[in-house]
Every structure is written in C-alpha cells, then in structure tokens.
C-alpha cells in the first residue's frame, strides 16, 4: 500500500479525504478500493470531483505542484466514483441498529444530504423536508447539466435514501409546518437547518422589473429543474433572446452565460464592474466561457435597463469604470470614467450579483439567532445554534460558499447531533 507521512493535500480538503491513499489505490489498479476510500470521508465524490474548486483546495497543496503540475486529484476522484457507479453495485455501508431518535433536516442540498446520510448510518430515523419537488438543492436547480449531470446527483440522492432517509419534497418549512411544529407535533428531537442561501439579490437600478429580466436563480431553475428548454412538453417556458447580458463576475454568472448560449443566444455578454483579475469566478470557468464565445465587458457598470413600449428589455445602459483606491475588501474600487456612458442592445438580462438568506425558516422559528444579514448564527465546528435542539450549516450559515464546505458542515453537525441525541 502506498503511504506518505505528510499529507498537505489532505489538509487542503475540507472533508479530509486520505488523498495519497485513494490515489495510491488507483495507481495499483484497485479502483473499487479507491472508491471505498473516498466514501469513508466524502459521501458525494462524483459531485465533488466535478465541482470542487480544487485549485484552491487539495491541488493547491500538492507537493508535486511546488516544482511542476499538481496531481489532478479532482479528476481522479471523479474517475474512481464513476467507475464504482458504472459497476452498478455500489456498496451501501452498514447502518447501526435503530436508536428511535427522530431528526428533521431542512433542505436537501449538500449539507442536508450529508448530515442526513451520516445520522442514518448511526441508526437515527431521519427525514429531509425539501421545498422543491426534487431533492439536491443547488446541485439540481443551480449547477447546469453540462457541468454536473443530474443523473449523478440523483444517484447520490438515491444513496442517501438507501441508507433509510425519508425525503419529503414540496414541503416548505415555515409554511407547510414550522420547525417548532415539527418538534412538538411530529416528535422530532433535533433539527438541522441546511436551507441554503437562495434569495436572489438585485442591483436596485431602474428597469429590473421589465419583461426579459431574470434573476440568475430564476433563469437557472427554469432551465435545470423545470426543463424549460423542452417547453411545451414541460410546462415552464423561458424566453432567452438572441443577445443576452449577464451581470456579475462569479461562477453563477459564468453558468448563466454558458446556459444562455446553449439555449440559442447568438451573443452573450458578461457585464462586470471590476477587472478580470478581480472576478470571483474560477479561472477554469472564465476560460470555458471565453472559449465558448461569451464576450466580456469588464470595468463596466450597468446603471439602468431600458424597455420598449411593451415593456420588453431593449438595452442596458452602462458606465465604463477604472480602478481606484482599495475598498474594504482590499480590492481596488471601480470608479466611473466621466463621459463614458454607453448602451448595449440586448433582449434578455440575467442578474447574477449574489444571493442571500431567505428569512422564511429563521423568522418562523422561535428564539433562533441570526446575524445582521439574516444568516443563522451557528458554531462552525459543531453547527450548534442559539437553541440546543437546532443545528445549522452550509450556505444559510456562511453565506454562498461551496459544495464541499456545505458537506463539511453537515458532517461536523452530524457528530454533534448524534452526541446531543445520545446524551441530552
């Protein structure tokens, strides 16, 4: 067996996969063993292998990367997970004997799926309550098919179900029943809140209410979850014009731009008020967008969206910017260049300037502490909130982050919840 003493790559992985061990098993040709090793720490390897920002995590710390190129850890993880799945005989780990303790999990994104799977393995009776009609969170409604095939997400959801987790969809916690009602009326002894950060932000400029303006959430949900591109076989329509402006510079903006191209748009623009090196999107995503023909209007700030007489989007008014002094984030602040306003003719505008916390769960749960931005206050290491029987993790605590960080939070909370249920 391949072994190393120091594992900087493992330390760079938020769920501490034993990377040298699983890569070593692949090198020995033991692909099933590699898949098993991955699952010890990561219940969603086929997903993480595809969407983790590896260049900022495991691969950043690879010792081979010091002098040359890092091991392609993400791609190897994806290979091993896909190989095991292709055999069609994925092993389900043993589940401990029932403890008769009931746990409710709000949300079926990566944090919810992880905490649910871990607690089910420990013998607890777990129910996930999901607002949408399909489980998976952003993995199904946000990240597009071309980056993360939905069949893979379904496989992972099925795996969690096989562990005995009950998934109740079309159940909006805070409306269908509150967290307090789940505990007092349905007998749940602990609740994990993994309801994500799905509330879209807008720019508050005029014209955002015109026809043809979408939040990125709405745009991607219509396409990914509601299959609007198959209208009328599917009920949900989408109107993606020939010229599309996507406002924002993150991964979500890149996903929207590339999705618009796939819906048939001829020209797709990224409109971003800062410079390319300040874009929060992964370099890989920016490169992919460029290669596919997305045009970048950088240092360009939208100031208004104008419509025609039927209130359909016609143009987006923009202001050219230059970089000034650093702001609070340490990035140089974009400042307007006098006399440089211009209009971009477009038929669709997609606003991808970030998401925040939807207040529905926190506002309907008594004595649950939130911060000034509406995120639930929870301990990073344990998931403990201001209420001893309620735990939280993922984007609803950290703000929009990553799949693997949400999973890590789910794993840590599972340990605390198990301890709480056994020792309270």
Partner from ligand FAD, ligand SF4, none contacting 301, C-beta within 5 to 8 A by type: none
**What is the rounded CA–CA span in Å between residue 135 and residue 118?**
17
Partner from ligand FAD, ligand SF4, none contacting 58, C-beta within 5 to 8 A by type: ligand SF4
Tell me if 19 contacts ligand SF4 by CB under 6 A: yes
**What is the rounded CA–CA span in Å between residue 201 and residue 396?**
15
Compute how many residues bind ligand FAD; rule: CB under 6 A. 40
- Beta strands 300-307 and 295-297, pairing class: unpaired
Six token digits for residue 365: 């749960």
Tell me if 408 contacts ligand SF4 by CB under 6 A: no
Tell me if 269 contacts ligand FAD by CB under 6 A: no
Q: Which of 25, 33, 37, 54 binds ligand SF4 (CB under 6 A)?
A: 54
Tell me if 23 contacts ligand FAD by CB under 6 A: no
Partner from ligand SF4, ligand FAD, none contacting 220, C-beta within 5 to 8 A by type: ligand FAD
Determine the straight-line distance between the first and last CA of the chain, rounded to whole angstroms.
Answer: 42
Residue 221 is classified by DSSP as I
Partner from ligand FAD, ligand SF4, none contacting 26, C-beta within 5 to 8 A by type: none
CA distance to 9, 143, 203, per residue, from 206 (Å)? 47, 29, 9
Q: Give start and end residues of each alpha helix (H) in 150-272.
A: 150-162, 179-184, 216-220, 251-262
Residue 121 is classified by DSSP as H
Tell me if 404 contacts ligand SF4 by CB under 6 A: yes
Piece in contact with ligand FAD (CB under 6 A), picked from 30-38, 130-138, 312-320, 416-424:
130-138
Q: Identify whether 87 is preceded by a cis peptide bond (ω within 30 of 0).
A: no
Binding mask 60-99 for ligand SF4 (x = CB under 6 A): -------------xx--x----------------------
∠ CA 196-197-203 to the nearest 5 degrees?
Answer: 165
Tell me if 112 contacts ligand FAD by CB under 6 A: yes
Please report how close the Cβ of residue 38 comes to ligand FAD at its closest, in angstroms. Answer: 16
Piece in contact with ligand FAD (CB under 6 A), picked from 81-89, 126-134, 201-209, 304-312:
126-134
Tell me if 111 contacts ligand FAD by CB under 6 A: yes
Please report how close the Cβ of residue 173 comes to ligand SF4 at its closest, in angstroms. Answer: 28
What is the largest distance, in Å, between two alpha-carbon atoms of the chain? 72
Piece in contact with ligand SF4 (CB under 6 A), picked from 9-17, 166-174, 195-203, 340-348:
9-17
Tell me if 52 contacts ligand SF4 by CB under 6 A: yes
Q: How far is CA 32 from the centre of its chain?
A: 28
Question: What is the phi/psi pair of residue 166, to 5°?
Answer: -90, 125
Piece in contact with ligand FAD (CB under 6 A), picked from 167-175, 299-307, 330-338, 376-384:
167-175
**What is the rounded CA–CA span in Å between residue 389 and residue 400?**
25
Instruction: Please count the other Cβ atoms lying within 10 Å of the Cβ belonging to residue 330.
Output: 6
Please report how close the Cβ of residue 38 comes to ligand SF4 at its closest, in angstroms. Answer: 8
Short-list 103, 92, 102, CA closest to 194:
103
**What is the rounded CA–CA span in Å between residue 121 and residue 415?**
11
**What is the rounded CA–CA span in Å between residue 230 and residue 253?**
23
Question: What is the phi/psi pair of residue 24, to 5°?
Answer: -60, -40
Residue 150, classed as helix, strand or coil, is helix
Partner from ligand SF4, ligand FAD, none contacting 138, C-beta within 5 to 8 A by type: ligand FAD
CA distance to 92, 107, 321, 397, 407, per residue, from 127 (Å)? 18, 10, 50, 21, 17
Q: Based on CB atoms, which residue is closest to ligand FAD, 168 or 331?
A: 168
Short-list 24, 9, 21, CA closest to 54:
9
Q: Which of 7, 23, 34, 57 binds ligand SF4 (CB under 6 A)?
A: 57
Q: Which of 34, 48, 62, 84 binds ligand SF4 (CB under 6 A)?
A: 48
Q: Which of 358, 365, 370, 416 binds ligand FAD (CB under 6 A)?
A: 358
Instruction: Summarize as ranges the residues that interact with ligand FAD (CB under 6 A).
Output: 51-52, 106-112, 129-132, 137-138, 142-143, 172-174, 194-196, 198, 220, 251-252, 255, 358, 360-361, 394-396, 400-404, 406
Instruction: Summarize as ranges the residues that interact with ligand SF4 (CB under 6 A).
Output: 13, 15, 17, 19, 42, 48-49, 52, 54, 57-58, 73-74, 77, 404
């Amino acid at each position: 067996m391949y072994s190393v003493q120091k594992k900087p790559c493992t330390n760079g992985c938020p769920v501490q996969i034993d990377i040298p061990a699983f890569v070593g098993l692949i090198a020995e040709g033991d692909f099933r063993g590699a898949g098993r090793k991955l699952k010890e720490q990561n219940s969603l390897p086929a997903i993480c292998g595809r969407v983790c920002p590896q260049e900022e995590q495991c691969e950043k710390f690879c010792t081979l990367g010091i002098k040359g190129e890092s091991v392609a850890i993400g791609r190897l993880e994806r290979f091993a997970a896909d190989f095991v799945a292709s055999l069609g005989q994925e092993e389900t780990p043993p589940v401990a004997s029932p403890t008769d303790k009931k746990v409710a999990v709000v949300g079926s994104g990566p944090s919810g799926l992880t905490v649910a799977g871990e607690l089910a393995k420990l013998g607890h009776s777990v129910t996930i309550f999901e607002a949408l009609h399909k489980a998976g969170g952003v993995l199904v409604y946000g990240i597009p098919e071309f980056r993360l095939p939905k069949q893979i997400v379904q496989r992972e959801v099925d795996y969690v179900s096989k562990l005995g987790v009950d998934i109740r969809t079309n159940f909006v916690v805070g409306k269908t029943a509150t967290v307090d009602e789940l505990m007092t009326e349905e007998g749940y002894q602990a609740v994990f809140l993994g309801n994500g950060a799905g509330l879209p932000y807008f720019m508050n400029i005029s014209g955002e209410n015109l026809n043809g303006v979408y939040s990125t959430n709405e745009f991607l949900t219509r396409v990914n979850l509601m299959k609007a591109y198959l209208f009328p076989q599917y009920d949900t329509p989408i109107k993606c014009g020939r010229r599309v402006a996507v406002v924002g510079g993150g991964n979500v903006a890149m996903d929207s731009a590339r999705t618009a191209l796939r819906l048939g748009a001829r020209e797709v623009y990224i409109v971003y008020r800062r410079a390319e090196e300040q874009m929060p999107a992964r370099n890989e995503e920016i490169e992919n967008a460029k290669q596919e023909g997305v045009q970048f209007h950088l240092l360009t700030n939208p100031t208004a969206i104008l419509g025609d007489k039927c209130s359909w989007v016609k143009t987006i008014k923009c202001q050219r910017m230059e970089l000034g002094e650093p702001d609070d984030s340490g990035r140089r602040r974009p400042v307007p260049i006098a006399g440089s306003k211009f209009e971009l003719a477009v038929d669709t505008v997609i606003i991808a300037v970030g998401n925040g916390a939807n207040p529905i769960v926190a506002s309907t749960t008594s004595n649950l502490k939130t911060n000034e931005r509406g995120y639930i206050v929870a301990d990073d290491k344990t998931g403990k909130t201001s209420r001893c029987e309620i735990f939280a993790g993922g984007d609803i605590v950290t703000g929009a982050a990553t799949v693997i960080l949400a999973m890590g939070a789910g794993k840590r909370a599972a340990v605390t919840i198990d301890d709480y249920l056994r020792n309270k």
